[in-house]
Chains A and B, each alone.
Chain A
Amino acid sequence: MNDAADINDESDINDESDINDESDINDESDINDDSAGDAPDAAARFVEFDRVAREPAALLPLAAIAIVAFGGLHLIVDLFAFSGDFMGQLGGVLTDSHTVVTGVALVVCFSALVAAPVPSPVGSWRVLSWVPALRSAPERTLHRVMVVLLAVGVAQTVIAAANAYDGDRPTAVIVTHDLFYVTTVAAVVTLLIAVAVSRSSAPDWSRAPAARQALAGALFVCPALGLLLTILWLAELWDFDTRGALVVGSFALLETVVATAVLVVANVVVRSAYPADPASPDRVTPGRSVSNALDNSGDVLRWMVPVSVVIGALHVLLAVGHDGEFSAGLGFVAFANSSFDVVAIVVGVLLLRQAGTRYGVPNLLAVTGAGGAPQLDQLMRVGVYLVAYLGVFSALVSAWVFRGDAGEVWYYFFNRLVRTAIVLGVLFGIRAIHLARQAFAGPPVEI
């Protein structure tokens, strides 16, 4: 899928002729002490960024294409392969649409984020050339993406609440589930937009208070919804399928832990990116303060790894061969899907941790110490491929297990593929940000 030999060809999307005029080298280069106000040094660092961060950044548009293609096919199957009442179909289509919109929003935001911190000697928002709307009006476009995401998410939740479904699961579980996902995704996208906007050459501070309040609220709402979802799942399934209840409950708990940690980091980052008083002369330069905030978030990210690994391992072990009520005889599918989900989360957490530290923070993994970063870098490269393999494998398994029912076969086939494309897009994005920061931070420091 991501043929490395083609990487250089793919990266030609970053046509230098597409660069807009928003460059302000001195503003952007404040990310790092060494580069502040030093144009030749900024130019050298830009070349370094171009070398190391171009590969994953160039894969972002490919991920977006895959998300739209697989997501579109998924929606077509959703619309035409199943018969049912209008509201039920509408609920399904909105849920799947939210997944696709989320994927596109994340990839677009990561593209903006990767491009924004680049103190390019010739212009900023360079990597964004693949999205014309972002090139002409990046901030307005990002906020429009957010509005669409919220609109679809709210519609999905309202329709879910209106639908009693078929009585298999109570409406409370469905609505809590939708609220948890919609709120968490919105918070994450808010974070990405906030940081991307704060790093542009002409930051728009008008939405700063709203973003800060939204994320502060999400820090309480999302974990509460996640815990509620975990409890509801356990209560719903415990009596007739205890193991199934633990399978689903452990995954909800895993997502709650990860969402909480991500939101803690988001609050730290956004409070730095969006200062309470932008007009204050004491305000720290946005790029610089975001960088510091990411360094400080290492403490939070440190416990994400072991906790997510333990809960994830428990979840997968419980899912192995489970043929209970929840999985409806689909133990193998549940195992394949769970393995993909858990590995994706763990690789994502590791990447986030890698991006969130500057090697000055003591790392959990010994390989990330001085001189060890390349090993972790290679580990992460392999991790991304592992996620790709598991994602496609889960699509294969789903297609085979549902044989005989063409609608179900293609529905789950594209469902797994669109999820794989979204996760890969996020991993490419985190990795590109890490490489960009690494290029500007200089070599790892001795711990």
Chain B
Amino acid sequence: MDTERAAPADEASQRESMLARESLLARGVAALFVIALVVATISSLVGGDGPYG
């Protein structure tokens, strides 16, 4: 009986943990995107010839 109750609880706990981990990963992607956007803006404003000269 206890085992039956524990299994769903364990599954729910694992799912919570997985969602928390994925939330962190998603925030990381969003942060990297913002950094990339800033880098692209700066790159388009600075002077230079680009790699092709």
Q: Which residues of A contact B (CB under 8 A)?
A: 1-5, 328-330, 378, 381-382, 385, 388-389, 392-393, 395-396, 399-406, 408-410, 413
Contacts and interface: CB of A to CB of B under 8 A. Distances in A.
B12 interface: no
Chain B interface category by residue count:
20 to 34
A328 B51 contact: yes
A328 B22 CA distance: 38
Contact of A403 (B18, B19, B35, B43): B43
Given A4-B22, A5-B23, A381-B22, A403 B30 contact: no
11 contacts: A2-B26, A3-B23, A392-B33, A396-B32, A396-B36, A399-B43, A403-B42, A403-B44, A403-B48, A405-B49, A409-B40
Contacts, number: 85
Contacts of B48: 403-405
Q: Which 9 A-B pairs have the closest CB atoms?
A: A404-B48, A405-B50, A403-B43, A399-B40, A396-B36, A406-B44, A4-B22, A385-B25, A409-B44
A5 B19 contact: yes
Contact of B18 (A381, A388, A395): A381
Given A401-B51, A404-B50, A409 B26 contact: no
Given A1-B26, A402-B43, A404-B47, 17 more contacts: A1-B29, A1-B33, A2-B26, A3-B23, A3-B27, A330-B51, A385-B26, A393-B32, A396-B32, A396-B40, A399-B39, A400-B39, A401-B51, A402-B51, A403-B44, A410-B40, A413-B36
B6 interface: no
A329 B51 contact: yes
A211 B30 CA distance: 40
A385 B29 contact: yes
Contacts of B42: 403
Nearest to A381: B22
A402 B49 CA distance: 8
A378 B21 CA distance: 11
Contacts of A395: 36, 40
A51 B47 CA distance: 52
Contacts of B33: 1, 392
A409 B28 CA distance: 23
B1 interface: no
A410 B43 CA distance: 9
Contacts of A389: 28-29, 32
Contacts of A400: 39, 43
